[in-house]
Amino acid sequence: MKSLIKKLVEINSPSGYESKIRDVIRAEVEPYADDIRVDALGNLIARKGHSGKKIMLAAHMDEIGVIITHIDEKGFARFTGLGGVRVANLPGSRVRFLNGATGVIGLERADENGRVPALDQMYIDLGASSRENCPVRLADVAAFERPFADLGNRLVSKAMDDRIGVAILIQTLARIKQPAHTLYFVFSVQEEVGIRGAVTAAFSLDPDIGIAVDVTDTGDTPKGIKMEVSLGKGPAIKVRDSGMLTDPRLVELMVDTANKARIPYQLEILERGTTDARAIQLTREGVPAGCISIPCRYIHSPSEMVDYSDVENAVNLLVKLLTNPFDIL
Ligand code: CO
Ligand code: ZN
């Protein structure tokens, strides 16, 4: 599965420009899905099974990036974020544009107070000397550039958020031979700019139950946030984030399933952030929705870190959950 993860995270597909990653995912799911379609926004929807309850599974395939707002006469490009880029993570980062151009993020000289710089004090240096020979134009977009690193149990890359969720859904689909339900694997677009793809996918599928797979913060780094989630202690069953309260019946079902199968898990209470599950929960007249989260350090930096055993256990939990019949509604 590590080679699949490497393949997925190294694709350059920021929000709104998911065609490259979509092609790769389509090729991966083609052997296992009963049916595949792409909707108007670009969500890739793979179905498996045709009886029982409709379950929508969602992992977003976009990643954070930048978009050019202005290029000065010396060829330095100014930019804004596509999704939640964190200024402290930017200086020295490399970005790769869809046209292949590579740039490095530079910083104006700091003021006397040594404050954390704002986005408008940064620029992208593409090695150009004028606007004319700058290889990018207004409105061009880029994603961060950083190769995958296998540290043994821990894996590091840009775009673990949420290609790790994509890898987990692909692996789950591959392992389920006889689903107990009608499963829709949705690889959603534009999550990082406001959970947009999942909104239209949930409306069109009108599922009975929704489950997102995405990353979550951890509280296990020096002076980190106070949070009872750590790398390596199992996938986190979301109870609450800032956009959603998981349906308690789904929390119970996931916890029971994990306990019976002796799969390690953690409970997640996230203070800031939400996932595609929120969009599913609030579609139409409302849908019971939950989320399986992968603990991840340094989210929205070019070096997001996950634990491989959490990834494997997330697949194990999903396979158990979706293979056995249940009726919680
Ligand atoms: Co994110
Ligand atoms: Zn995410």
Token pair listed for 213: 């797979």
Q: What is the pLDDT of residue 329?
A: 75
Asked if pLDDT for residue 258 goes beyond 90, the answer is yes
Superfamily for domain range 65-144: Peptidase M42, domain 2 (2.40.30.40)
Q: Give a three-class secondary structure readout of 149-170.
A: EECCCEEEECCHHHHHHHHHHH
Report d(CA 266, CA 293) in Å as an integer: 9
Kindly state the average pLDDT of the residues 304-317. Answer: 98
Q: Pseudo-torsion of CA 23, 28, 34, 38, nearest 10°?
A: -20
- Quote the radius of gyration of the chain (alpha carbons, Å): 20
Kindly state the average pLDDT of the residues 310-328. Answer: 93
Kindly state the average pLDDT of the residues 82-102. Answer: 95
Q: Model confidence over 21-43: pLDDT tens digits?
A: 999 999 999 999 999 999 999 99
Q: Fold for domain 2-63+158-322? A: Aminopeptidase (3.40.630)
pLDDT over 90 for what percent of the chain? 92
Q: Which of the ligands is closest to the CA of residue 82?
A: 1
CA of 192 to the centre of ligand 1 (A): 5
Kindly state the average pLDDT of the residues 299-308. Answer: 97
* Partners of residue 80 on adjacent β-strands: 67
Asked if pLDDT for residue 225 goes beyond 80, the answer is yes
> Which strands sit side by side in the sheet containing 304-307, from one edge to the other?
149-150, 154-157, 304-307
Token pair listed for 161: 């958020």
Asked if pLDDT for residue 278 goes beyond 90, the answer is yes
Asked if pLDDT for residue 115 goes beyond 80, the answer is no
Q: What is the pLDDT of residue 328?
A: 81
* Partners of residue 46 on adjacent β-strands: 36, 185
CA of 74 to the centre of ligand 2 (A): 36
Report d(CA 230, CA 220) in Å as an integer: 5
Asked if pLDDT for residue 110 goes beyond 90, the answer is no
Asked if pLDDT for residue 109 goes beyond 90, the answer is no
Kindly state the average pLDDT of the residues 288-293. Answer: 98
CA of 291 to the centre of ligand 1 (A): 14
Report d(CA 77, CA 142) in Å as an integer: 12
Q: Which of the ligands is closest to the CA of residue 163?
A: 2
Q: What is the pLDDT of residue 194?
A: 96
- Torsion sign (Cα): 180, 281, 310, 262: negative
Q: What is the mean pLDDT of the chain?
A: 96
Q: Where do the CATH 2.40.30.40 domains begin and end in the chain?
A: 65-144
Q: What is the pLDDT of residue 217?
A: 97
Q: Which of the ligands is closest to the CA of residue 277?
A: 2
Report d(CA 187, CA 58) in Å as an integer: 6
Q: Which of the ligands is closest to the CA of residue 215?
A: 2
Token pair listed for 269: 């209470």
Asked if pLDDT for residue 293 goes beyond 80, the answer is yes
129, 74 in Cβ contact below 8 A? yes
Confidence of residue 198 (pLDDT cuts 50, 70, 90): very high
Token pair listed for 146: 């950083």
Q: What is the pLDDT of residue 34?
A: 97
Kindly state the average pLDDT of the residues 248-264. Answer: 97
* CA angle (240, 193, 76) in 5-degree steps: 135
Q: What is the pLDDT of residue 146?
A: 92
CA of 274 to the centre of ligand 2 (A): 8
CA of 43 to the centre of ligand 2 (A): 15
168, 213 in Cβ contact below 8 A? yes
Q: What is the pLDDT of residue 325?
A: 86
Q: Where do the CATH 3.40.630.10 domains begin and end in the chain?
A: 2-63+158-322
Q: What is the pLDDT of residue 255?
A: 98
Report d(CA 251, CA 168) in Å as an integer: 19
CA of 309 to the centre of ligand 1 (A): 21
- Can you give the length of the chain in residues? 329
Neighbours of ion ligand 2 (CB under 5 A): 161-162, 214
Instruction: Report, as residue numbers or ranges, the catalytic residues.
Output: 191
